[in-house]
Amino acid sequence: MSVTGNHVKRAFKYRFYPTDAQAAELSRTFGCVRKVYNMALNARTEAWTRQERVNYNQTSAMLTAWKRTGELAYLNEVSSVPLQQALRHLQVAFTNFFGKRAKYPRFKSRKKSRRSAEYTTSGFRFREGRLTLAKMAEPLRIAWSRPLPEGATPSTVTVSQDAAGRWFVSMLCEDTIVPAPPTANAVGIDAGITSLVTLSTGEKIANPRHERKDRARLARAQRELSRKDKGDGANRAKARRKVARVHARIADRRRDFLHKLTTRLVRENQTVVIEKLTTRLVRENQTVVIEDLTVRNMVRNHKLARAVSDAAWSDMRSMLEYKTAWYGRELVVVDRWFPSSKLCGACGTIRAKLPLNVRTWTCECGVVHDRDVNAAKNILAAGLAVSVCGAGVRPQRESSRTGRSAMKQKPPRREP
Angle at 56 between CA 54 and CA 57, to 5 degrees: 95
Report helix, strand or coil for 343.
Answer: strand
Q: Is 372 a catalytic residue?
A: yes
Alpha-carbon gap, residue 134 to 122, rounded angstroms: 8
Task: Spot the catalytic one: 20, 71, 128, 275.
Answer: 275
Q: Is 190 a catalytic residue?
A: yes
What is the separation of C-alpha 393 from the centre of its chain, rounded to a whole number of angstroms? 26
Task: Spot the catalytic one: 190, 211, 291, 310.
Answer: 190
Q: Is 275 a catalytic residue?
A: yes
Q: In sequence order, what are the residues at sequence separation of 6 or more whose Cβ sits closer than 8 angstroms to the Cβ of residue 190?
A: 197, 198, 291, 340, 341, 372, 373, 375, 376, 379
Q: Which of 216, 228, 126, 110 is nearest to 163 (CA)?
A: 110
Alpha-carbon gap, residue 66 to 32, rounded angstroms: 12
In DSSP notation, 312-334 reads THHHHHHHHHHHHHHTT-EEEEE
Q: Rounded to the nearest 10 degrees, what angle do helices 215-227 and 234-266 cross at?
A: 160
Task: Spot the catalytic one: 118, 211, 291, 372.
Answer: 372
Alpha-carbon gap, residue 202 to 373, rounded angstroms: 6
Give the residue numbers marked as catalytic: 190, 275, 372
